[in-house]
Amino acid sequence: MSGKRIFMPARTVADWGGLHEYIEGASRSLVAAGNEVTVACASGLVADRVRATGATVIEVDWADWKPVGDLLRTSDRYDIVFAHASGARDLALYVNEAWGADLYVMCHGAFHDYVYTWSDKVTAFLAASPSLVDFLVRIGKVDPWRVEMVANGVPDHVLEMPLKTLEEKLSDGVGRIVMASRIAQDKSAQFPVAREVLLACQQAIPNVKWQLDVLGDGPLRPRMEREMGRFAASHGLDVNFAGWVPPEEVPIRMNSAVIGLVAGMGGIRTLAAGALCVGVGARDNVGLQVGQNLRAGLWSNFGDHGCPQFTATPIADDIRTYLRTGPYEEAQQIGRLAVKRARAASVVDGALLSALQAG
């Protein structure tokens, strides 16, 4: 099968995050399959990393994308348009009025975006979790046969990182809890849970120093630094706001962490790297990722996309149960296997190419 010309507009609102990683990974997969890929995105890190995959980049000011759209409408037709997030969806619909290409829209979050007013112009929808498949059909009124799940994936090499035992992770006298997220309103529910997790860990294993490492940045960072700093000082804990770190470093940090407190793409990387995972996203808290909580986490993208009619088991109780040699390592193995079998990049890449009929 010959490669196709694919236009991929992707609107991002932060320096980095799960959406950025998805765009980078999708670009790499589509290019490797022999397609010619052009990504319309903001300038900065995401544009640089997409170029490194072999894709062409058109830099867009998403506050005023119309000039780019007007130029594209008169350019050579693409075979596939593959849009990500609402602003990019607007651009995709606009240029595709002229092209008449197959139009795919990827749903990354539980925001209806008035999809029922424009879904008739879309060939098919891709959704990042089973929860979003349900959301698009039930809330967006999209025909079920036009919705396909293409989950967030994790690079295969992360799944090969040696797993560290609980004893090894605590050998230097420090127990690390790592958050990796934008520090913004939609992620703010993670911080109360972080306080709960820190106190539960301190109770379960009091003879080590517990430390929270926050990887990420955003508009709420100054406030959260103040609040978490006061909390840590009053309970004999440490907290470190590291800002954005290179994406490749996050799994390395998680590999040494006792617990990762994350949602979305971060949840997949945490389980793959071998830390216990607490899933708290924009919509729900799905708890420590074991048992039914793990099932709910994988279904809802670790709480980012919502998990109706589900109540997680108490985090403090689960931490007391699993922060012990034996149960900890068993949870590590189960979490990694759950990711390896369904969310490894090699598996997800195949699902993407199949869904787009592009390789």
**Which tens digit of pLDDT belongs to each residue from 24-70?**
989 999 999 999 999 999 888 889 999 999 999 999 998 999 999 99
Say how far residue 166 (Cα) sits from the centre of its chain: 26
Confidence band of 248 (pLDDT split at 50, 70, 90): confident
Which pLDDT value is given to residue 85?
A: 74
pLDDT value at residue 10: 92
CA distances from 25 to 50, 156, 165, 281, 333 (A): 9, 12, 30, 22, 25
Distance of CA 26 to the CA centre of its chain: 13
pLDDT of residue 226: 95
Residues 6+ apart with CB under 8 A from 114: none
Enumerate the β-bridge partners of residue 126.
106, 148
- Cα dist from 1 to 4, 7, 81, 101, 352, whole Å: 9, 19, 18, 18, 16
**What is the C-alpha separation between 240 and 215, in angstroms, rounded?**
9
Q: Measured between alpha carbons, how far is 324 from 197 in angstroms, rounded to an integer? A: 15
User: What's phi and psi for 241, nearest 5 deg?
Assistant: -95, 110
Please state which of the ranges 78-82, 139-143, 302-306 shows the lowest mean pLDDT.
302-306
For 103-138, how does the pLDDT look when each residue is reduced to its tens digit (9 = 90+)?
999 998 777 788 888 999 999 999 988 999 999 999
Q: How far is CA 297 from the centre of its chain?
A: 12
pLDDT, averaged across the chain: 92
- Among residues 228, 202, 199, the alpha carbon closest in space to that of 216 is found at 228
- Which segment of 184-188, 194-198, 209-213, 276-280 scores lowest on mean pLDDT? 184-188
- Of 185-189, 234-238, 301-305, give the range with the top mean pLDDT: 234-238
Tokens of 165: 């035992």
Residues of the chain with pLDDT > 90, as a percent, come to: 75
Q: For residue 213, is pLDDT > 70? A: yes
**Residue 354 contacts residue 33 (beta carbons within 8 Å):** no
Scored b (16 or more CB within 10 A) or e, 311-349 reads ebeebbebbbebbeeebbbebbeebbebbbeebbbebbb
Token output for 241:
């706001």
Percent of the chain with pLDDT over 70: 99
The C-alpha atoms of residue 186 and residue 318 are separated, in whole angstroms, by 25
Do 276 and 322 touch, CB atoms closer than 8 A? yes
Q: Which of 215, 336, 358, 210 shows the shortest CA–CA distance to 276?
A: 336
pLDDT at 1: 53
- Pairwise CA distance, residues 21 & 345, whole Å: 12
- Point out which residues pair with 127 in neighbouring strands: 107, 149
CA atoms of 283 and 304, how far apart (whole Å): 5
Edge-to-edge strands of the sheet including 259-262? 238-243, 209-215, 174-180, 259-262, 276-280, 285-288
Query: How big is the chain, counted in residues?
Result: 359
User: What local confidence, expressed as pLDDT, does residue 102 receive?
Assistant: 95
Tokens 């997680």 correspond to what residue? 312
